Amino acid sequence: MTPFLAEMLGTMFLIVLGDGVVANVVLAKTKGNSGGWIVITFGWAIAVFTGVFVASHGSAAHLNPAITLAMAAFNNFPWSDVPVYLAGQFAGSMIGAVLVWLSYRQHLDETKDPALQLATFCNAPAIRNTVHNIISEIIGTFILVLGVLFMTKPGNSLGTLDALPVGLLVLGIGLSLGGPTGYAINPARDLGPRIIHSILPIKNKGKSDWGYSWIPVIGPIAGALLAAFIYKTFIHL
């Protein structure tokens, strides 16, 4: 399996299971309606575990442009592979969003609140404040990347089972740090499905909130770069 295909399939699984659990909880007339934050965070943890496990058979299983850029900048990941990884991640995120739409199309059309429709695809802050929202995404991604670097360090690595501790880490981030912005911590996870939301024919659909869309891109990239820099400079000497 090529790195492009691995990153695409892994990110597709990530979005199908991740956005899928959000749809199940927030959309009208679903079996999981009003399941709550715990259901969403566990669903996303399983999504990450599955996506990383699938992708690990053909790539470094980044599934996240912020991680790819940070690894290239500070962890000897080849810059020549970056475009392939980013293309796979964004392609997978958009395919995954379309599959969620196909699964929940009736429920999206039954949902009268455009904000809940949008939440199926991408993030929005609980309290809209540009500085605080960026800080929240930086911190969440910093914890993600620094944790992953420790987990995959030689001597700590579980091989393909590294997917399990990474999934548990994402569970912890969601439970502990997800409240302010919904913890995008991944530009592809937010931007790809947001693009799909803007295209799809959804009854009573609102705007795609492009004014906020740059925060789940810039924040995670900054947090990932900071984590990789600190790890390389002060820890993995």
Per residue in 78-126, pLDDT (tens digit) is 999 999 999 999 999 999 999 999 999 999 999 999 999 999 999 999 9
pLDDT value, residue 152: 80
Q: Report, as ranges of residue numbers, the positions in the chain whose pLDDT lies below 70.
A: 154-161, 237
**Amino acid at residue number 163:** A
* CB-based contacts of 121, cutoff 8 Å, min separation 6: 19, 97, 100, 193, 194, 196, 197
What is the model's pTM?
0.96
Would you say the C-alpha torsion 134, 140, 146, 149 has a positive or negative sign?
A: negative
pLDDT of residue 159: 58
**Which CA distances in Å does 146 have to 126, 200, 224?**
25, 36, 8
Exposed (0-12), middle (13-18) or buried (19+): which is 211, by Cβ within 10 Å? exposed
Quote the CA–CA distance of 63 and 14 in Å, as a whole number.
8
Helix, strand, coil shares of the chain, percent, nearest 5, are 70, 0, 30
Q: Domains in the chain, ordered, with CATH?
A: 3-235 (1.20.1080.10)
Instruction: Using the CB atoms, write b or e for 61-97: b if 16+ within 10 Å.
Output: bbbbbbbbbbbbbbbebeeebbebbbebbbbbbbbbb
Instruction: Label residue 129 left, alpha or beta by phi (over 0 means left) and psi (-120 to 50 means alpha).
Output: beta
175 three-state secondary structure: helix
Model confidence pLDDT, tens digit, residues 154-166: 665 555 567 899 9
Q: How far apart (Å, rounded) are the C-alpha atoms in residues 114 and 103? A: 18
Res 235: pLDDT: 87
